[in-house]
């Protein structure tokens, strides 16, 4: 498909028909209860959002730094944008990949929308002493127990508490709240969204954390490689990861979901991405990408087509 110098095949031998046949692993006992309880804790919080306006490179958009409270006493920071002149009619939570982010996105095709761009604990503006910022260390933080694994806190940071902060600031978007997440943010979104009735639609782009038993057998250049090596060394990762499998969580998703899943991806093995899409229980749309986490001659054109697809998907009431 592409020329590459990785010591493994980023398709892992799957063609599109094989990818579409992947099913999610079994759901562990107490999975839904674990997530509902975690969500309940996040929803019970007063998140106390604070805004500080900053310079915007876009004449039609106002930009702000934002911060709010999340689980475990963590103060989450990020950005927020809103139309400069148009009224706000919709809201969107936009998460990031494991590389973090250094500012808001101004290219998303979402008109009359207030968008919040939270940084997960330990990452970018939410850097802190207690959580490592390096992806290879971050993905292992607290993995010894499901109650301490960092991805539970990240679900609160970048989905539930971020939504609460946005709705506190813009209560008029209640009932018109969407989610967009890429890679890390796509996987965390798949884990967190099924339990939160406030969201209307979601887009997951090359989502991570799908089908951990498969992921642990597949080399990659993303954070999953750190987990794979930890499992090989200790044999202890999977017991926790069974409760953080985005494909298992997708079975509980009922809102319409748009998924951009890659057939070739050196960072997030494609079988995990498609396992999430295949397991989705509600209305779903697939945008097959030629490649994820890999620049190629068709990247720009494919990205432009994806933005058109998102404008159409999120334009539906």
pLDDT at 19 (0 to 100): 98
Residue 22 · residue 248 · CB < 8 Å: no
Cα 287 to Cα 304: distance, rounded to the nearest angstrom: 12
Task: Please list, residue by residue across 203-221, b when 16 or more beta carbons sit within 10 angstroms of its beta carbon and e when fewer do.
Answer: bbbbbbbbbbebbbebbbb
Paired tokens of 234: 């200790």
Contact 267, 222 (CB under 8 A): yes
Say if residues 260 and 205 touch (Cβ distance below 8 Å).
yes
Question: How far is the C-alpha of 9 from the C-alpha of 270, rounded, in Å?
Answer: 11
What is residue 317's predicted lDDT score, i.e. its pLDDT? 63
pLDDT in tens, 31-46: 999 999 999 999 999 9
CA angle 284, 154, 67 (to 5 degrees): 110
Ordered per-residue pLDDT tens for the chain, 317 residues: 799 999 999 999 999 999 999 999 999 999 999 999 999 999 999 999 999 999 999 999 999 999 999 999 999 999 999 999 989 999 999 999 999 999 999 999 999 999 999 999 999 999 999 999 999 999 999 999 999 999 999 999 999 999 999 999 999 999 999 999 999 999 999 999 999 999 999 999 999 999 999 999 999 999 999 999 999 999 999 999 999 999 999 999 999 999 999 999 999 999 999 999 999 999 999 999 999 999 999 999 999 999 999 999 999 76
What 3-state class would DSSP assign to 59? coil
pLDDT of residue 86: 86
Residues in Cβ contact with 133 at an 8 Å cutoff, skipping those fewer than 6 apart: 100, 122, 123, 124, 127
Token pair in block for residue 202: 């979601």
199 Rama sector, left if φ>0, alpha if ψ -120 to 50, beta otherwise: beta
**What structural domains and CATH numbers belong to the chain?**
16-311 (3.40.50.1820)
Question: How many Cβ atoms from other residues are within 10 Å of residue 230's Cβ?
Answer: 17
Q: At 79, phi and psi to the nearest 5?
A: -135, 165
Predicted confidence at residue 118, as pLDDT, reads 98
């Amino acid at each position: 498909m592409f020329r590459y110098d990785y010591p493994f095949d980023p398709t892992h031998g799957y063609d599109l028909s094989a990818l579409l046949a992947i099913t999610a692993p079994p759901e562990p006992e107490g999975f839904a209860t674990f997530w509902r309880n975690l969500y309940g804790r996040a929803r019970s919080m007063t998140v106390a959002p604070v805004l500080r306006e900053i310079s915007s490179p876009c004449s039609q958009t106002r930009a702000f730094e934002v911060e709010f409270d999340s689980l475990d006493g963590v103060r989450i920071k990020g950005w927020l944008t809103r139309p400069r002149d148009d009224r706000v009619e919709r809201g969107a939570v936009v998460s990031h990949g494991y590389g973090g982010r250094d500012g808001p996105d101004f290219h998303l095709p979402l008109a009359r929308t207030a968008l919040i761009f939270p940084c997960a604990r330990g990452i970018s503006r939410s850097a802190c002493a207690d959580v490592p910022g390096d992806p290879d260390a971050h993905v292992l933080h607290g993995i010894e127990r499901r109650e301490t694994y960092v991805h539970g806190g990240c679900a609160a940071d970048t989905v539930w508490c971020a939504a609460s902060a946005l709705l506190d600031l813009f209560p008029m978007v209640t009932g018109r709240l969407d989610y967009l997440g890429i890679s890390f943010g796509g996987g965390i979104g798949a884990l967190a969204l099924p339990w939160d009735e406030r969201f209307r639609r979601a887009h997951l782009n090359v989502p991570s954390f799908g089908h951990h038993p498969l992921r642990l057998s597949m080399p990659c250049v993303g954070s999953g490689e750190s987990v794979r090596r930890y499992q090989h060394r200790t044999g202890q990762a999977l017991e926790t990861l069974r409760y953080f499998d985005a494909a298992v969580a997708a079975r509980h998703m009922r809102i319409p979901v748009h998924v951009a899943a890659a057939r070739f991806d050196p960072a997030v093995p494609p079988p995990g991405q498609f396992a999430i899409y295949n397991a989705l229980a509600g209305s779903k749309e697939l945008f097959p990408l030629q490649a994820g986490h890999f620049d190629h001659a068709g990247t720009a054109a494919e990205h432009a087509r994806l933005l058109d697809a998102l404008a159409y998907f999120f334009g539906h009431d």
